């Protein structure tokens, strides 16, 4: 599941590495494409909250959370962020049996509660995923 952090890369890392933080992502991607692993794939990250996708509730238990630093309503995803996301997906795609239908954003699993990604940016990312893994 894809998100935007609404704050900078550095601020997101600082926030999520605090012991009292109640939010986390598996991966954070900076505007220049730099990635940071905040939670290993095999562990639960707290990125979805109350959520539902593909008939299942509580998406934290079965989805990996990837966030783009910043706010996609204020600035579009950079080409470097999209390329980095595709690179991150590459080893997981076949190993986990993912399909395009399993790619989603926070807005779609928590409608009315969350608004990330900007729908225009989600469509750009989804098109890039489809082109690469289609």
Give residue 33's pLDDT.
98
* 30 contacts: CB under 8 Å, gap ≥ 6: 9, 36, 69, 81
Question: Does pLDDT of 125 surpass 90?
Answer: yes
Sequence ranges of the domains in the chain: 2-133
Hey, what are 7's tokens? 């704050």
Q: Is 90 exceeded by the pLDDT of residue 19?
A: no
Contacts of 133 (CB under 8 A, 6+ apart): 89, 93, 98, 100
Q: Is 32 exposed, middle or buried (0-12, 13-18, 19+ CB in 10 A)?
A: exposed
2-133: CATH, from 3.40.50.20, 3.40.80.10, 3.40.50.720, 2.50.20.10: 3.40.80.10
Residue 46 is predicted with a pLDDT of 95
Global pTM reads: 0.96
- pLDDT at residue 114 in the model: 96
46-70 pLDDT per residue, tens:
999 999 999 999 999 999 999 999 9
């Amino acid at each position: 599941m894809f998100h935007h952090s609404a704050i900078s890369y550095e601020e997101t890392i600082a926030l999520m590495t605090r012991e009292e933080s109640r939010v986390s992502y598996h991966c954070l991607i900076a505007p220049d494409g730099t990635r940071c692993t905040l939670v290993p794939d095999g562990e639960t990250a707290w990125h979805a909250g109350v959520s539902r996708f593909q008939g299942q509730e509580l998406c934290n238990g079965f989805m990996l959370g990837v966030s783009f630093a910043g706010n996609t309503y204020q600035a579009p995803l950079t080409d470097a962020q999209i390329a980095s996301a595709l690179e991150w997906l590459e080893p997981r795609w076949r190993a986990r049996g993912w399909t395009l239908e399993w790619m989603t954003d926070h807005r779609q699993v928590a409608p009315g509660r969350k608004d990330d990604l900007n729908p225009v940016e989600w469509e750009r990312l989804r098109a890039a995923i489809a082109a690469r893994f289609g």
